[in-house]
Structure 1
Amino acid sequence: MAELVTGWKQKIMAVRATRVRPGLDDKILTGWNALMLQALTDAYRAFAEPEFLVVAERNARFIQANLRDGQRLNRTCKNGRASISGFLEDYALVIQAYISLYEVSFTETWLREAETLTAYVLANFFDPSETQFFYTDSSAEPLIVRKKELFDNVIPASNSVMAHNLRRLGRHLENARYTDLAANMLAQVRHLVVKEPQHLTNWASLYAALLRPGAELAIIGPKVESFRQELSRRFLFDTVLAGAKKSSELPLLKLLKPAPEGRTAVHICRNQACLAPLYSVAEALAAL
């Protein structure tokens, strides 16, 4: 029987070899890689599996090396060649993933890269007349109509992702322009969120965050990583994490005093004002 099966397979494969093979779509998409990077950071935050962070950082470096063009992003890459100017979706998802990668690694490079890409989006995608972003780059090939993506589909609407990014990045960098813009973007669609929340769930998440804002957690000291891991085991809605072993020039960290020798402190901050430092995660969670 085994010999018969082998013979059948050989005959089937011989016939199949005479047919035109299906097309293979093997291009690399920037936005989809960013979605994977975000998933890896979420998984690392939840499970603290080191391999997840290794793969996430490798993926982020790939995006930097193959899909960046100066301050710009390209949308696709194939056979080592990038093409097509990035859409708002690509920028929004990469910025989101880079902010998340900073929050699980405290490698400041990723937050600064998110800041650079955000500046490019503001300069080349923003429509001040409606306080939203166009889907296409103003420096790319001109179109008859430049549309804006507001409704969630399989992937959250690029404008809603960008609004979340502005809120998170604005809090990390203490940039009121960013946080105010995020609130203004939500105000443009607030009536739709209330009327059709099933089509604007990512906007609704931002709405909830503005109604019940979380805190900024700044960790400083030699045990910064273990403190971060312990805090990350909890779901802390609308909370941003920043940290350094000694000091940092990031706005959220640079004015905080180092913890006493050998100790690690958690600072709970809201609206650029911080409580007295706490020296255990249990104390920080209780205060939250």
Structure 2
Amino acid sequence: MNQLNLETSPYLLQHANNPIHWKAWSEKTLATAKKENKLLIISIGYSACHWCHVMEHESFENEEVASVMNPNFISIKVDREERPDVDAIYMKAVQMMTNRGGWPLNVVCLPDGRPVWGGTYFQKEEWTNTLQQLHEMYVSSPEKIIEYAEKLHQGIQVLGIIEHNTSQEQNHTNNIKPLVEKWSKSFDWEYGGYARAPKFMMPNNYLFLQRYGFQTQSQDLLNFVDLTLTKMAHGGLFDTIDGGFSRYSVDIRWHVPHFEKMLYDNGQLISLYAQAYKRTQNPLYKEVIEKTLTFVEREFLNSDDGFYSALDADSLNQNNRLEEGAFYVWTKDQLQEILQNDFEVFSHLYNVNDFGFWEHNNYVLIQSQTSESVASQFGLTENELQNKKKTWERLLFTEREKRAKPRLDDKSLTSWNAIMLKGYVEAHNALGDGNYLAIAKKNAQFIIEKQWSPEGFLHRSYKNNKSTIEGFLEDYAFTIDAFISLYQATLEEQYLHQAKQLTDYCFDNFYDEKQQFFAFNSRNSAQLIAQHFETEDNVMPASNSVMANNLYILSILFNNSYYEKIALQMLHHMIPNIDYASAYSNWLNLWMNLSEDNKELAICGENALVNSQKINTKYLPHIMIAGSTKKSELPFLENRFIENENLFYVCQNKACLLPKTTIEETFNNLEI
């Protein structure tokens, strides 16, 4: 029988009425496969995945397909967002077998979980034919399948293990330059991003490139970052009506998105645009931040102060059928009716023409000219056009709200919440909006109260007042990162001590002394067919790169030489593996901490919070900030507080200058 009705994952619940006898991933299910000696089908996807829905409709809702799967296989449905560990292992297997990957991810395995065949989307006939052949082979010649599975398993175990770097060569930051130069050859200088489609946003790439361009005074790199951020904000990828970014663009212009909106993308992009705003004061970046956080607060923030995970790409169209992008797109007739006399100006600004046309008479709004240019064409001031733009957006938002909304994935994932928490902190730092910081603090409390168990571990998922699944390394790494940022914005030291407590838990439960990296799964949890050490940055930074950055900062604040040793040891092992730098941008960020212009700033005194907030509005990626409004026992701040004085200590390489007494003097010592 189909057992997915017992689950809380929206993706699993979407399949609860399939005729397939789906089971959730569990030790019990795996034990059943061994007991009955049946091949496993492991089908992995997520609620906002368009092609997952297509394969469900074509195959998993089909009785004929069920008649092949049910008697011969144990079928397991996995929500990749709840179980990124399972997804990572079987993605490696499929990539080894087919040189490609994606979702839905479908794998057939031996009863013990070792894969023998797999791929992504399959049409119904190919799917059933292959399953029948595999079943017959397993019955008649099991040794052939087992032999192949053993070889593939050996490859999976080796894949992802980082060889130790035994070189004694110093990791000088000058060696970053050729990596960036090679990387820059793939830049798209017309539309930003990389010169290929589909285009993913990769926020961590631009956080690093912006920092590197700033610290090396490379105007070309900064121009490229600004080009990319502007084109993303002007493209259909960004929902100018409601705020928020879709997951990626299917074309090189950032025009037509794959319409799902993911929490982790928007959290990282808020951090990126906030940092860019601090550097440039570009009003477009401020608009993006404010619109996106309005969207997040309205659509993702729940009554428990947690954030939901995603909005689907698909929604019901006028014919009451699920269609990708139906909620977001417009016909020319619809726009003319709503905008009336302003349609001509609107159509020039948002390209209701061949450039903005998508398909089926639908347009995806994209801006290719500056507001100033369009305003001058129609005899308007830029301010007048901006006011019109706000009116248009209100009209279109009101009209669009009448449509059937995309389906909501209403689980809350710890790591994604932490990413969004940090986004709110960064937005507060850049714009000074106290509401952003209040939401961040409430979300931190949600993680502490709902997701942090009395036994010391973090839960992964939360829904309906129920916390489930023991957390993975990414849940700890991003929570630690967010709590450090929250401390730096509030100077409330409990966040820092909580970050350290979670860090020590990671050493006890995730750190592998032999590999000298952190495993993705806790050693106390049920183990998969191979260990997974996540080291390559992707649409989210790798959990090991986030941990290494955390350790470096905490090593300074707590004067902890072991943290520093492990962070730099991890970096040292990674450096020989950095070939195409976009997959290692967060490691490069850590590497930049070793540059000669990096400093630390301690702000002490009764006005420390006010002073730190002023400093946090500046773009200072090479400065690590800490502070206290009272006497502190934090090692970095110890013996630095003097009653009735406001002092600024600029430090470098564990040595500090004499304290300054004004922000103006301090800034002179912080410049590159």
Residue 237 in 1 paired to residue 621 in 2?
Answer: yes
For 1:192-230, what per-residue CA distance to the aligned partner results, in whole angstroms no more than 9, with x for missing partners?
A: 22x220111111111122233622211111211221022
Amino acid at match of 1:225: L
Q: Match for residue 6 of structure 1?
A: none
* Secondary structure in structure 2 of the residue aligned to 1:240: strand
Identify which of structures 1 and 2 has the higher relative contact order when contacts are C-alpha pairs closer than 8 Å and 6+ apart: 1
Matching of residues 1-288 of structure 1 within 5 Å: 25-70=409-454, 71-193=456-578, 195-212=579-596, 214-258=598-642, 261=644, 263-288=645-670
CA contact (8 A) 1:66 1:82 kept: yes
* Secondary structure in structure 1 of the residue aligned to 2:642: coil
For 1:15-49, what per-residue CA distance to the aligned partner results, in whole angstroms no more than 9, with x for missing partners?
A: 959xxxx9753211001100101101111111111
CA distance in 2 between partners of 1:109 and 1:140 (Å): 28
CA contact (8 A) 1:43 1:52 kept: yes
* Secondary structure in structure 2 of the residue aligned to 1:44: helix
* Secondary structure in structure 1 of the residue aligned to 2:458: strand
CA contact (8 A) 2:457 2:471 kept: yes
Amino acid at match of 2:665: E
CA contact (8 A) 1:221 1:246 kept: yes
Q: How many residues align?
A: 271
CA distance in 2 between partners of 1:115 and 1:105 (Å): 17
Amino acid at match of 2:600: E
Amino acid at match of 1:45: N
CA contact (8 A) 2:536 2:583 kept: yes
* Secondary structure in structure 2 of the residue aligned to 1:234: coil
Amino acid at match of 1:197: A
CA distance in 1 between partners of 2:511 and 2:424 (Å): 29
Q: Match for residue 311 of structure 2?
A: none
Decide which moves more: 208-217 or 121-130: 208-217
Decide which moves more: 42-51 or 56-65: 42-51
Decide whether aligned partners of structure 1 residues 213 and 132 sit closer, same or farther in structure 2, where only a CA change above 3 A counts.
farther
CA contact (8 A) 1:98 1:110 kept: yes
* Secondary structure in structure 1 of the residue aligned to 2:497: helix
- Residue 243 of structure 1 and its aligned partner are, at CA, apart by 1.3
Amino acid at match of 1:160: S
* Secondary structure in structure 2 of the residue aligned to 1:174: coil
CA distance in 2 between partners of 1:267 and 1:212 (Å): 17
For 1:48-95, what per-residue CA distance to the aligned partner results, in whole angstroms no more than 9, with x for missing partners?
A: 111111000000001111111132101001111111110111110000
- Residue 257 of structure 1 and its aligned partner are, at CA, apart by 4.3
CA distance in 1 between partners of 2:582 and 2:543 (Å): 16
CA contact (8 A) 1:172 1:240 kept: no
CA distance in 2 between partners of 1:119 and 1:191 (Å): 28
For 1:248-281, what per-residue CA distance to the aligned partner results, in whole angstroms no more than 9, with x for missing partners?
A: 111111222415x3x3111112233221110111
CA distance in 1 between partners of 2:623 and 2:562 (Å): 19
- Residue 144 of structure 1 and its aligned partner are, at CA, apart by 2.0
Runs of 4+ in 1 over 4 A off after TM superposition: none
CA contact (8 A) 1:215 1:238 kept: yes
* Secondary structure in structure 2 of the residue aligned to 1:211: coil
- Residue 187 of structure 1 and its aligned partner are, at CA, apart by 0.7
| Root mean square deviation, CA, Å | 2.1
* Secondary structure in structure 2 of the residue aligned to 1:231: helix
CA distance in 2 between partners of 1:237 and 1:131 (Å): 28
CA contact (8 A) 2:648 2:660 kept: yes
Decide whether aligned partners of structure 1 residues 93 and 213 sit closer, same or farther in structure 2, where only a CA change above 3 A counts.
farther
Identity of aligned residues (%): 36
Decide whether aligned partners of structure 1 residues 213 and 139 sit closer, same or farther in structure 2, where only a CA change above 3 A counts.
farther
Amino acid at match of 1:236: L
Larger Rg: 2
* Secondary structure in structure 2 of the residue aligned to 1:72: coil
Which structure 2 residue ranges, 5 or more long, are not aligned?
Answer: 1-315, 322-405
- Residue 180 of structure 1 and its aligned partner are, at CA, apart by 1.5
CA distance in 2 between partners of 1:87 and 1:41 (Å): 23
Q: Match for residue 293 of structure 2?
A: none
Amino acid at match of 2:523: S
CA contact (8 A) 2:631 2:639 kept: no
CA distance in 2 between partners of 1:93 and 1:274 (Å): 30
